[in-house]
Amino acid sequence: MGKNTRNTNRGSAANKTIKTASVEPPPTQEPLPSESPAQTASSISDDSASHHSHTTTATMVDLQTPIDSKAIISPEIKALSELLGTMKLTLGALGSTVHIIGKQTEKVAALAPAIKASEEIDHLRVKLDQQMAIHKEEITKLRAELTARVKEAIRTHLREQASMAVKDAVARKVSSKVADLLATHVSEDLRDQVKAHRRQLLDIQTNMHNSEARRHNSSLRSSADTLRPLVRPLSASQLLGPPLDTPLSSLTTAVEPPTPSLNFPKSLGEVYTLSTEDARNLLKEYGINLPNSPKNNGTPTTGQISPDCSPSSAASSATMVDWREASREEIINTFMAHIGVRSTSITARSDLCELVPGGEKVGVIYYR
């Protein structure tokens, strides 16, 4: 009996304790406006933990007594647990978001040089396009200018060619017309007379030129002095390279003026070194014949050939012989006398003989 009474008292005391805990729950503290959500959640969790500890202590009084769960968990505790779960989910989402943002930041930092290089490339591309546009404009201007210049040059060149062609055509037409008029109005005898007078004038001019050249050559003292060339007779000049006849020149009285020989020696030294063949060619071009004189060691005397004699008078003289039968000494001496170099000695000079090509020891008159 005593034991039952004590158990009954204990059960009633436990029930009183449970009722007190369930009826009077600990008041919840609302978070102050200045507190952060994390501090508020911490205080709420602390309160719920203390409340849970009181409840657990109360329930441990008697485990055999039935407990009403609805009476133990209040709506405030349930709301707090839901709030904590929501906050945990929010914190997890925020953590993953921060992690993703960090990864993206790292990627952006790694891609920053490439992005900058791409921007620079785009900037350079824009500049290059602008420069290309400027160059294209300049090239267009240069092409237009060059085209204008080329057209002007072609126009000028064609104008000159056309002018020359017109001049040539007019000259040929005028020459043909003048030739026809001359053939109609000028008689053949008159043309022959005019041509003869022109030849006489050319002969006089030739003799004057040759006389002046002989005077110059007679004053030479050194073998290095330059000779003044004599012009060939009129017939010899026309035989070597006559001009082509034109419709006008065939009917006019024009006569080609005489010219010097291309083989004429330039100095006395070249005269001394003339070969026999070259000396004979000079005699042939100038129409010179050798005097028919005594041998006298193969050298003519001073009085036998006059320096001022003309080729025509020399050819018509009865004392001339064919130069093809003469020796080299006679040919060179005769040519030197013809060009005006006067002889002062008949004695051959040994030093001049050494100048003869081929080493032929012959005597040559030395002229001073």
Give the percent of the chain with pLDDT over 70.
58
291 SS3 class = strand
User: Both 169 and 20 in a single domain?
Assistant: no
For residue range 139-165, list pLDDT tens digits in order.
Answer: 999 999 999 999 999 999 999 999 999
CA distances in angstroms from 275 to 192, 268, 296, 340, 355, listed in the order given: 41, 14, 22, 20, 10
At which of 158, 185, 212 does a domain end?
A: 185
Residue 144 counted as domain residue: yes
Token reading at 190: 């008159």
pLDDT band per the 50, 70, 90 thresholds, residue 292: low
User: Both 228 and 355 in a single domain?
Assistant: yes
Beta carbons of 283 and 349 less than 8 angstroms apart: no
- Location of structure tokens 């709030």: 83
Reported pTM: 0.40
Residue 106 counted as domain residue: no
Q: How many other CB atoms sit within 10 Å of the CB of residue 90?
A: 11
User: Both 196 and 243 in a single domain?
Assistant: yes
Q: Rounded mean pLDDT of 27-33?
A: 43
Q: Rounded mean pLDDT of 254-276?
A: 83
Residue 316 counted as domain residue: yes
Q: How many domains does the chain have?
A: 3
Mean pLDDT is highest, among 71-75, 128-132, 294-298, 316-320, for: 128-132
Beta carbons of 292 and 321 less than 8 angstroms apart: yes
Indicate whether 41 pLDDT > 60.
no
User: Both 69 and 175 in a single domain?
Assistant: no
What does the alpha-carbon distance between residue 165 and residue 157 come to, in Å, rounded to a whole number?
12
pLDDT of residue 259: 87
Residue 102 counted as domain residue: no
User: Both 196 and 170 in a single domain?
Assistant: no
At which of 35, 62, 91 does a domain end?
A: 91
At which of 91, 116, 149 does a domain end?
A: 91
User: Both 147 and 285 in a single domain?
Assistant: no
User: Both 212 and 175 in a single domain?
Assistant: no
Its domain, for residue 10, covers 2-91
Q: Rounded mean pLDDT of 16-20?
A: 39
pLDDT band per the 50, 70, 90 thresholds, residue 107: confident
H/E stretch holding 279 = helix 276-286
pLDDT of residue 61: 45
User: Both 209 and 348 in a single domain?
Assistant: yes
User: Both 250 and 355 in a single domain?
Assistant: yes
User: Both 297 and 345 in a single domain?
Assistant: yes
User: Both 169 and 199 in a single domain?
Assistant: no
Residue 126 counted as domain residue: no
Mean pLDDT is highest, among 12-16, 58-62, 70-74, 135-139, for: 135-139
Question: Which range, of 204-218, 227-241, 345-359, averages the lowest pLDDT?
Answer: 345-359
User: Both 171 and 207 in a single domain?
Assistant: no
Residue 47 counted as domain residue: yes
Indicate whether 325 pLDDT > 60.
yes
Q: How many other CB atoms sit within 10 Å of the CB of residue 229?
A: 19
Beta carbons of 40 and 89 less than 8 angstroms apart: no
Beta carbons of 335 and 282 less than 8 angstroms apart: yes
